[in-house]
Amino acid sequence: MRKPHRASSTLVVIIYRLGIGGIAVMSLLAFMMPFALPRVLSWVQPEIIFLGDDNQKVLYLTIDDGPSSATEEIMSVLAKHRVPATFFIIGNHVHSDTQLSMLNEAGFSLGNHLRTTTRCSSLPLERFQEDFDFTDQLIHRFAKPAYFRPPSDFGTPDQLSYVRTKGYQPIVGTVFPLDHWVTHPAILAILVRWLAVPGGIIIMHDGDVRGHTTAKVLDRIIPILKNRGFTFEALTKPRPSKATKSSVNLRE
């Protein structure tokens, strides 16, 4: 006789022990988490934007860690579905003017993601300023960036203060499908769909490997999100939202 799979057996035991009430609580938490997460983070880190205009069923797509060999593939998918996006640039990934000019000419926004992917808060302030300014100068040759995304964490108060003196708004987001660790396009699409809420800021990644996966996920998930009534808008200079204190209106 074939023995039951250990994971399946464990799941059955958990469901049995939880009972209907426990399952209902878990389901409620799973439903509420995508709505609660950006508001909790906004309370913890009020200097950083985690949520856009939550009065409308709108999403903001952002792509980190570019440019790469996969950037043009991502651009093609976005053009196919007519979706705007902001590409957060890693300075050391820029090897030619064309890599940035093609994004700008195609109508995509550019944001600052520092010079490397080193965890932001681990950088001494002087090093942080050098890395920020390096990428800022690259981007300003082609665009007027408005947003900074700290790599790998939320940065330090001094770092965020410096960013603001340069005219940038720190921004993160919570529609993040963990594509640093999850690599299967179908699973990533499910996670994006689950986390997507009105005003949600989607975070996905460019890169010579990860970027090709991102293109596949976007080609799959954009039509699904549109069918659910979501629209996509570009990030623009934020102004305070009248809706909630934990979100900002990202539209002009």
Domains of the chain, by residue range, sit at 36-249
Q: What are phi and psi of 148, to 5 degrees?
A: -125, 135
pLDDT on residue 241: 38
Looking at residue 29, what is its pLDDT?
Answer: 54
Looking at residue 6, its pLDDT comes to 54
Arithmetic mean of pLDDT, 52-69 = 96
Helix (H, G, I), strand (E, B) or coil at 68: coil
Secondary structure of the chain: what % helix, strand, coil (to 5)? Answer: 45, 15, 40
Radius of gyration of the chain (CA): 19
pLDDT in tens, 144-176: 999 999 999 999 999 999 999 999 999 999 999
pTM to 2 decimal places: 0.86
pLDDT of residue 51: 96
Q: What is the pLDDT of residue 229?
A: 98
Average confidence (pLDDT) over 2-30: 51
> 5: which residues sit within 8 A by CB, 6+ positions away?
none
Report the pLDDT averaged over residues 191-213.
Answer: 97
**Could you give the percent of the chain with pLDDT greater than 70?**
81
Tokens encoding 216: 């596949």
- Please give the residue that has the higher pLDDT: either 129 or 18: 129
Please report, in angstroms and rounded to a whole number, the separation of the first and last CA atoms in the chain: 66
Q: What's the confidence (pLDDT) of residue 206?
A: 98
Nearest to 62 by CA among 197, 190, 171, 217: 171
pLDDT one-digit tens code per residue, 205-252: 999 999 999 999 999 999 999 999 999 999 975 443 333 344 555 644
CATH class, range 36-249: alpha beta
Cβ neighbourhood burial of 66 (10 Å; 0-12, 13-18, 19+)? buried
Amino acid residing at 76? S
Q: Look at residue 13 in the predicted model and tell me its pLDDT.
A: 53
